[in-house]
Amino acid sequence: MTKHFLTLADMSPADLGRHLKRAIKLKADTLAGKRNKSLEGKILGLVFEKPSLRTRVTFEVGMRQLGGDSIYLSAQEVQLGVRESVADVARNLERWVDGIVLRTFRHEVAEELARNSSIPVINGLTDLVHPCQVFSDMLTVLEKRGRLKGVRVGYVGDGNNLANSWLLGAAMLGMELTVACPKGYEPDRSVLRDAKKRAKETGAKITIAHSPEKAARNADVLYTDVWTSMGKEKEGARRRVAFKGFQVNGALVAAAKKDVLVMHCLPAHRGEEITDEVLDGPNSIVFDQAENRLHAQKVLLEALLGGRKKKKATRGK
């Protein structure tokens, strides 16, 4: 694993498998009440230009469960590239904290922060990818199915940052992924090319379709996300028209395997991309997903922050 975690591609497939096993162990220890102080004395900086429930709470709780602490910095307090350059923010934070979780819009901002930071930077979400979410999603599928290789995932909806991360994760671990989205809303082309290249090495199957039924057919997992992501609210009305017919509802679930796992990264726009009967139904594991953000991210924190020291300040003469 590299010094930073900006995308799932920063891990090797072997790293990914090893970290998932570690997450299962950390979760079991936590539920058994075993204490883990592997990050005692470490401080995590949370720099969030986008609001969050799951990402903020799970990283803050995760640090505390590992013996460390965190500090939250909102967009108003930091203003990356406006009040202060991204590079200068990195050079300041590295003197005070041991790692940074960044939740922002443009992926290039995360890359610039990491490029100028001597401490680890974790991507809590950018417009391009959402690696922490999909890493924890794979943990959830592994728990429920006992394996990942060969598992069939049908992703229905927008080819957004979540779809992009699923492409990489599925390709790296030999899964079968079909992404079904309206024409013009396909995943990022460069990410798709990378995923297909990786799939040749692992035996994964990657398909882009424009039919929700094709994604649902024989699926072990049926996954969806909001049609309109943060920052694209002005496109809401147009997207609701474009995505009509891409709702995960009872009929679509019936087209998948009988024991299909229904997943959504949340928050959900009930009645749009998913119906209440499905989100609250017997096949839904959305809150297991949410729980596993905590345990999966603790592995990332251990791997990246463990043993690292902050850059020492230069003494003045």
Domain parsing of the chain, residue ranges: 8-129+293-305, 133-290
Active site residue 95: no
Per-residue pLDDT, 316:
46
Q: Are 275 and 251 in contact (CB under 8 A)?
A: no
Q: What is the pLDDT of residues 268-280, one digit of tens each?
A: 999 999 999 999 9
Q: What is the DSSP letter of 74?
A: E
Assess whether the region 8-129+293-305 and the region 133-290 belong to the same CATH fold. Answer: yes
Cβ atoms of 265 and 109 within 8 Å: the answer is no
| DSSP 3-state percent helix, strand, coil across the chain (nearest 5) | 45, 15, 40
For residue 249, pLDDT beyond 50: yes
For the whole prediction, is pTM greater than 0.85? yes
End-to-end CA distance of the chain: give it in Å, rounded.
Answer: 39
Looking at the predicted structure, is the pLDDT value of residue 308 above 90?
no
Which pLDDT band, with edges at 50, 70 and 90, does 310 fall under?
A: low
Residue 63 has pLDDT above 50, yes or no: yes
Is 269 an annotated catalytic residue? no
Is the pLDDT at 239 greater than 60? The verdict is: yes
Residue 170 has pLDDT above 70, yes or no: yes
4, 19, 54, 103: which is the annotated catalytic residue?
103
Q: Is 265 a catalytic residue?
A: yes
Catalytic residue, chosen from 4, 107, 127, 133, is 133
CATH class, range 8-129+293-305: alpha beta
What span, in angstroms and rounded, lies between the C-alpha atoms of 263 and 108?
29
pLDDT digits (tens, 9 = 90+) for 70-120: 999 998 888 787 889 999 999 999 999 999 999 999 999 999 999 999 999
| Contact status, residue 121 vs residue 4, Cβ threshold 8 Å | yes
**147, 121 contact by CB (below 8 A):** no
Spatial contact of 157 and 187, defined as CB atoms under 8 Å apart: no
Of the residues 225, 239, 247, 297, only one is catalytic, namely 225
What is the spatial distance between Cα 269 and Cα 261, in angstroms, rounded to a whole number? 19
Q: Is the pLDDT of residue 13 over 70?
A: yes
Q: What are phi and psi of 240, to 5 degrees?
A: -60, -35
Percent of the chain with pLDDT over 70: 97
Q: Which of 303, 296, 252 is nearest to 134 (CA)?
A: 296
Listed residue (51, 78, 47, 46) closest to 62, CA to CA: 46
Determine which one of 4, 19, 107, 130 is catalytic.
130
Query: Is 225 in the active site?
Result: yes
Query: HSE on the CB side for 244, CA within 13 Å?
Result: 5
CATH of region 133-290? 3.40.50.1370
Confidence of residue 230 (pLDDT cuts 50, 70, 90): confident
Average pLDDT of the chain is 95
Catalytic residue among 10, 265, 295, 297: 265
Residue 130 annotated as catalytic: yes
Band of pLDDT at residue 232, cut at 50, 70 and 90: confident
Task: Please give the pLDDT value at position 315.
Answer: 42
Q: Identify the DSSP state of 267.
A: -
Which residues does 210 contact at the CB level (< 8 Å), separation at least 6? 180, 181, 182, 183
Q: What average pLDDT does this structure show over 57-82?
A: 93
